[in-house]
Amino acid sequence: MKSNMKTSNPPAETSASAPAEIRPSNFLRDIIVEDLKTRKFGDAVIQTRFPPEPNGYLHIGHAKAICLDFGLADEFGGRTNLRFDDTNPEKEETEYVDSIMEDVKWLGFEWDGLYYASDYFDQLYEWAIKLIKAGKAYVDDLSADEIREYRGTLTEPGKNSPYRDRSVEENLDLFQRMRAGEFPDGSRVLRAKIDMSSPNMNMRDPVMYRILHAEHHRTGPKWCIYPMYDYAHGQSDSIERVTHSMCTLEFADHQPLYRWYIEQLGIFPSQQIEFDRLNLTYTLLSKRKLLQLVRDGHVRGWDDPRMPTLCGIRRRGYTPEAIRTFVTQAGVSRTNGITDFAMLEHFVREDLNRRAPRVMAVLRPLKLVIDNYPEGQSEECDAVNNPEDPAAGGRKVPFSRVLYIEQDDFREEPPKGYFRLSPGREVRLRYGYFVKCTSVEKNAKGEVVEVHCTYDPATRGGNAPDGRKVKATIHWVSAAHAIDAEVRLYDKLFTKPYPNQVEEGQEFTANLNPNSLEVVTQAKLEPSLASAAAGARYQFERLGYFCADPDSAPGKPVFNRTVALKDTWAKIEKKAG
């Protein structure tokens, strides 16, 4: 499969079913191979890091970065650090730190070192002093607005600040007093002295430190000046002897600055390499917007199963294996693109098909009464747990006179091509018997509320000794043995493939799908599901994959639909209609 594959369709069956270990080659791996060959970093092992900012929950885009950072280092016997980029004291919370660690582990990765950019505040401060002493940094008294004005534009060069040529002594004195808390927020900054006419705006004397009288979640009140991301990131990489610092394309313009700091300081030459962000149709992957969905109550929380957060898709029932395979197969490239949501679902289905035990559940029950089956009698049918996995064994499913079937599996007047139950028609009950519909009962509104059948005792197990065939097999649950359950059916969170595209004056929330959640409260499950543990995944035969939700209570399970099975009938109906 091509490494930069972007697709609007799930990839062809052959490549899609390749095991996760078969990794398509990509340019990041090529760079590492080359660097090892030329001994670019001498004897140093391949060292990567995953550097989340703890200001939100991880999403599936982060999963791509995690798989690259950890996966590539792993492949070459290297190491990966988890480093929290906590340079901004105002937005960061311990809740996010905890969730990020949990999510990385859940994805199946273990970090070597666990660090915080704030661990390096002392070192970064010393290096700032070093740059001041070398005449490479100065304290600027311009306001933020003035700095912006002086910076110029893409077509016009910037102008030097009137404070740019302060003496080293004055800069040292002012910077130390900034640190000591003598000045209010925003009154001064420390800037790198580079080039105000550089065609790269990031090189026009970027700010290194700002004054912020704010407590930090780790360093407490120790600091009232904080380093900017660009000043902290490369140096943190260097301290950890990161050889390959992989980040997304929006940082490409920052790379010259990344290198400049490292060169001026003469420290370990970590190398930044950019790759494309993961974008998915019908999905937003921006922490700010996801936070807005949570804060404004559009979803039930960060772990709402409709969210693209790792905790959301975990609750929905996606497996870490499926996500890793998806991310690998979606590939990595040097240009941004968008990947079809259907491709993600494809890999989720494929993985669950292999591992999820099959069970029977009826979401919209219709009573089916077998008139010639003795009242009060019941028996156990042998059911296969997973046809894909003989080791999964079998189980017994109770059968009796009154069953529930899916409303959809009965039509009083079957349309052309409909082969399921209808008056006079015979179908197979999965693992049970052939039944033939003899009559129906209706309510006052004329709706069918009960279907009456006769069964053929000779067809036990699902085959007729006389060789007669039926055209459909339907699932069922014995009414006397059924467990009541709530089932939450999810649809896409947004109605548009590009949720950010809105009419003027509208927000992305205008594209929210009002029907993204449907709660079915009267579902009937086979009794083996009574004790399903939260997180347990199943295939409800013919309906899709489902995962027990933490909201489940003893005897009252709640299930999330992870993903539907491919619905061929819907396609036929659509074509016909």
Contact positions with Mg ion (CB under 5 A) in 51-70: 53
* Active-site option among 53, 388, 412, 450: 53
Residue 315 interacts, among ligand ATP, Mg ion, none and using kind-specific CB cut-offs from 5 to 8 Å, with none
Q: How many angstroms separate the CA atoms of 453 and 350, rounded?
A: 36
For the chain, state the CA radius of gyration: 31
**Has 388 been annotated as catalytic?**
no
Beta-bridge partner residues of 450: 367, 441
Q: Are 207 and 189 in contact (CB under 8 A)?
A: yes
Residue 492 interacts, among ligand ATP, Mg ion, none and using kind-specific CB cut-offs from 5 to 8 Å, with none
* Active-site option among 136, 159, 259, 277: 277
**What is the amino acid identity at position 366?**
L
Report the candidate in 562, 522, 521 with the shortest Cα–Cα distance to residue 540. Answer: 562
Q: Could you write out the DSSP letters of every residue in 422-482?
A: -TT-EEEETTS-EEEEEEEEE-TTS-EEEEEEEEEGGGTTS--TT----S-EE--EETTT-
Site string for ligand ATP, 193-232 (x = CB under 6 A): ----------------------------------------
Q: Does the footprint of ligand ATP cover residue 286 (CB under 6 A)?
A: yes
Q: Could you write out the DSSP letters of every residue in 292-347?
A: HHHHTTSSSSTT-TTS-BHHHHHHHT--HHHHHHHHHHH---SS---B-HHHHHHH
Q: Which residue has the tokens 């870490």?
A: 320
Task: Rank residues 10 and 337 by Cβ distance to ligand ATP and give the closer one.
Answer: 337
**What is the amino acid identity at position 19?**
P
Task: Rank residues 69 and 321 by Cβ distance to ligand ATP and give the closer one.
Answer: 69
Residue 287 interacts, among Mg ion, ligand ATP, none and using kind-specific CB cut-offs from 5 to 8 Å, with ligand ATP
Q: How many angstroms separate the CA atoms of 503 and 20, rounded?
A: 41
Residue 312 interacts, among Mg ion, ligand ATP, none and using kind-specific CB cut-offs from 5 to 8 Å, with none
Residue 277 interacts, among ligand ATP, Mg ion, none and using kind-specific CB cut-offs from 5 to 8 Å, with ligand ATP
Q: Are 452 and 371 in contact (CB under 8 A)?
A: yes
Residue 52 interacts, among Mg ion, ligand ATP, none and using kind-specific CB cut-offs from 5 to 8 Å, with ligand ATP
**Has 83 been annotated as catalytic?**
no
Q: Does the footprint of ligand ATP cover residue 500 (CB under 6 A)?
A: no
The 8-class DSSP code of residue 68 comes to H
Q: How many residues bind ligand ATP (CB under 6 A)?
A: 14
Write the CA distances from 339 to 299, 343, 353, integer angstroms.
23, 7, 22
Task: Rank residues 273 and 392 by Cβ distance to ligand ATP and give the closer one.
Answer: 273
Q: How many angstroms separate the CA atoms of 257 and 230, rounded?
A: 7
Site string for ligand ATP, 25-64 (x = CB under 6 A): --------------------------xxx-------xx-x
Half-sphere exposure of residue 226, counting CA atoms within 13 Å on the CB side?
A: 23
Q: Are 516 and 492 in contact (CB under 8 A)?
A: yes
**Has 287 been annotated as catalytic?**
yes
Of the chain, the end-to-end C-alpha distance in Å amounts to 37
| Piece of the chain touching ligand ATP by CB under 6 A; list 134-142, 186-194, 285-293, 338-346 | 285-293
Task: Rank residues 54 and 331 by Cβ distance to Mg ion and give the closer one.
Answer: 54
**What is the amino acid identity at position 278?**
L
* Active-site option among 287, 315, 324, 561: 287
Contact positions with ligand ATP (CB under 6 A) in 243-272: 247-248
Q: Does the footprint of ligand ATP cover residue 191 (CB under 6 A)?
A: no
Residue 331 interacts, among ligand ATP, Mg ion, none and using kind-specific CB cut-offs from 5 to 8 Å, with none
Query: Among 159, 164, 277, 452, which residue interacts with ligand ATP (rule: CB under 6 A)?
Result: 277
Phi-psi sector, 297: left (phi>0), alpha (psi -120 to 50), beta:
left
Query: Among 1, 65, 203, 232, which residue interacts with ligand ATP (rule: CB under 6 A)?
Result: 65
Q: How many residues bind Mg ion (CB under 5 A)?
A: 1
Q: Are 346 and 14 in contact (CB under 8 A)?
A: no
Task: Rank residues 58 and 323 by Cβ distance to Mg ion and give the closer one.
Answer: 58
Query: Among 67, 117, 239, 278, which residue interacts with ligand ATP (rule: CB under 6 A)?
Result: 278
Return residues touching ligand ATP (CB under 6 A): 51-53, 61-62, 64-65, 247-248, 277-278, 285-287
Return residues touching Mg ion (CB under 5 A): 53
What are the residue numbers of the active site? 53, 277, 287
